[in-house]
Amino acid sequence: MAEADGGKFDEMDLEAFEPRDAPPCLFVLYGATGDLAARKIGPALYNLAVDGLLPENFAVISVARRPFTHEEHRAEMRKAIEMFSRRPLDEDIWGWLAERWCYEICHAREPAEYDRLNRKLAEYDQQYGTCGGRLIYVAMLPELLGDIIDNVGRAGINQPSCEGGWVRLIVEKPFGDDLKSARKTNDLLSRHFDEQQVYRIDHFLGKETVQNILVLRFANSLFEPHLNARRVESVQISTTETVGMENRRGPYYEKTGALRDMVQNHMLQMLALVTMDQPDCLRCGAIRDAKARLLQQIPALTPEEVARFTARGQYTVGGGKAGYRAEDGVAGDSQTETFAAVRLTIDTDRWRGVPFYLRTGKRLAKKASEIVITFRRAEHELFLAGGCDLRGANRLRIRITPDEGVAVHVDAKVPGVAMRLRPVTMDYSYGGTFESASPEAYEHLVLDAMAGDNTLFIRSDEVEAAWRIVDSIRRVWDKKHDPPIENYEGGSWGPPRAEAIFEDRYTRWLPL
């Protein structure tokens, strides 16, 4: 039961949102000694075990090139879980998981080693009774993806080891670094897997608050009728971070930059979720269809639009921390942007004329992720005519992180004999409403992939539609250097030009 407005009501048990039982499964983790495995995947598996959501017939087969024994690897994973899990390590639960956690050596570029691995996987399948269910997670550098997928396919690891089994593949971003390479990656994947077997992870889609966008829009009648160009003036989506390269991400980030790292995936996905048309159902591919259609309707930017409606920046020293160019693995004359802001439009009857402003950056003043929809002011001039010209704009504010929640800004009368108005906020925060802590995004997504639900994973057409938009910006940034990259002080709100991408002089980035 949950409580609202002092009353009690039943939580709606939507079957479609119930966690499905994960079937018996061999979880094959490539890149098991890497950063992602330690920080996200290991802790996600552990927390699924805490919640009793892993099947009894389950095993993790970690795969990497370093010569570890099972015991040595388990000790490493234990340390990682102690450090990064959202809940403390419980000896019994860890004991259960550790018993089914094995380690195998395989060099990504050595085809013969995959044949041996495939034989071992068949043995593990027998040992742990996983009935040919196989979830392969590639958590490796993108440069190795091609070799791994080809070798996996050649050795037959992409085939179930017995009748009635299944194989699925989780891949991590980046999904290419432009449209051309994304298509190449999609072709590579499709040589060895059906699209239905491929689970491209975007961890933002595993966040509770991002999924709540669907509920807010389609389970309520309050907002949806107003989400269109007649009612909405503009939309801002911000994902700001305080971290820099943290001594480890420089080499990756140098080749990526803010636009590819955040806008191509997380931010365009959030934009698609707030603007797509209502899908026919929740779990039949309809959400992915609706997102893909929406992304295809965002026009690529012309060079003039890139010059006028985008901004990019790079952080310098600030807040007691080094500047980007002094970070490990970063060139002293790097031109990589650590901040990006863009204005996009959507060419549909529903949204034509509404500007969508997206911004993201590292080493900014605050870590926050928010979507703010600003509605047009009331059409009639009733209050204006009465001499109250203090009308604020109605806003719907979806806080993805931190302090997850939703706020609605409306005007209210200031108590007193005069008719004076003041903007007030109706606020709902997750923390104050629900007692249980949200699972980490990776927990949700790993479980979905085990259960064969790809709704919250990105399909190849979405990836390609997003690259088409991003490429149109990158081309002008890289070839014409327009607009030029600007420095911003670490710990600030980004480069001055970020404020200049609005269509009118009055709009500003809203405080986070």
Residues designated catalytic: 266
Give 161 or 338: the residue with its C-beta nearer to ligand BG6: 338
Cα–Cα distance, 236 to 374 (Å, whole number): 8
Give 203 or 359: the residue with its C-beta nearer to ligand BG6: 203
Minimum Å distance from CB 241 to ligand BG6?
5
Contact between residue 461 and residue 179 where contact means Cβ atoms under 8 Å apart: no
Give 26 or 237: the residue with its C-beta nearer to ligand BG6: 237
Give 76 or 261: the residue with its C-beta nearer to ligand BG6: 261
The answer for 160, left when phi > 0, alpha when psi is -120 to 50, beta otherwise, is beta
Beta partners for 339?
313, 361
Give 161 or 360: the residue with its C-beta nearer to ligand BG6: 360
Minimum Å distance from CB 265 to ligand BG6?
7
DSSP letters spanning 211-276: HHHHHHHHT-SSSGGG-STTTEEEEEEEEE-S---TTTSHHHHHTTHHIIIIIIIIIHHHHHHHHS
Q: Among 177, 261, 462, 464, which residue sits at the site for ligand BG6 (rule: CB under 6 A)? A: 261
Give 205 or 346: the residue with its C-beta nearer to ligand BG6: 205
Minimum Å distance from CB 173 to ligand BG6?
6
Minimum Å distance from CB 336 to ligand BG6?
12
Q: Among 110, 147, 178, 241, which residue sits at the site for ligand BG6 (rule: CB under 6 A)? A: 241
Minimum Å distance from CB 261 to ligand BG6?
5
**What is the edge-to-edge ordering of all strands in the sheet holding 198-200?**
101-105, 58-64, 25-30, 133-138, 166-171, 198-200
Residue 434's Cβ-count burial label (10 Å; 0-12, 13-18, 19+) is middle
Q: Residue 356: name the closest of 303, 305, 416, 292 by CA.
A: 305
Contact between residue 236 and residue 357 where contact means Cβ atoms under 8 Å apart: yes
Give 241 or 489: the residue with its C-beta nearer to ligand BG6: 241
Site for ligand BG6 in 343-372 (CB under 6 A): 369
Give 132 or 244: the residue with its C-beta nearer to ligand BG6: 244
Cα–Cα distance, 448 to 21 (Å, whole number): 9
Contact between residue 357 and residue 508 where contact means Cβ atoms under 8 Å apart: no
Reduced 3-state DSSP string for 423-450: EEEEEEEHHHHCCCCCCCHHHHHHHHHH
Contacts for 501-510 with beta carbons within 8 Å, 24 or more apart? 501/308, 501/309, 501/310, 501/311, 501/341, 501/342, 501/343, 501/357, 502/343, 502/355, 502/357, 503/343, 503/355, 507/234, 509/236, 509/238, 509/357, 509/359, 510/236, 510/372, 510/395
What kind and span of H or E run contains 3?
strand 2-4
254 binds ligand BG6, rule: CB under 6 A: no
Minimum Å distance from CB 484 to ligand BG6?
23
Minimum Å distance from CB 453 to ligand BG6?
21
Give 261 or 443: the residue with its C-beta nearer to ligand BG6: 261
Cα–Cα distance, 400 to 370 (Å, whole number): 5
Minimum Å distance from CB 366 to ligand BG6?
12
Q: For residue 491, give both structure tokens.
A: 């710990």
Site for ligand BG6 in 210-229 (CB under 6 A): none
Cα–Cα distance, 235 to 397 (Å, whole number): 10
Q: Which residue's CB comes closest to ligand BG6? A: 261
Minimum Å distance from CB 152 to ligand BG6?
24
Q: Parallel, antiparallel, or unpaired for β 486-489 and 339-344?
A: unpaired
- Would you tell me how many other CB atoms lie within 10 Å of the CB of residue 413? 13
> How many chain residues touch ligand BG6 (CB under 6 A)?
4
Q: Residue 334: name the closest of 257, 417, 415 by CA.
A: 257
Interacting residues with ligand BG6 (CB under 6 A): 203, 241, 261, 369
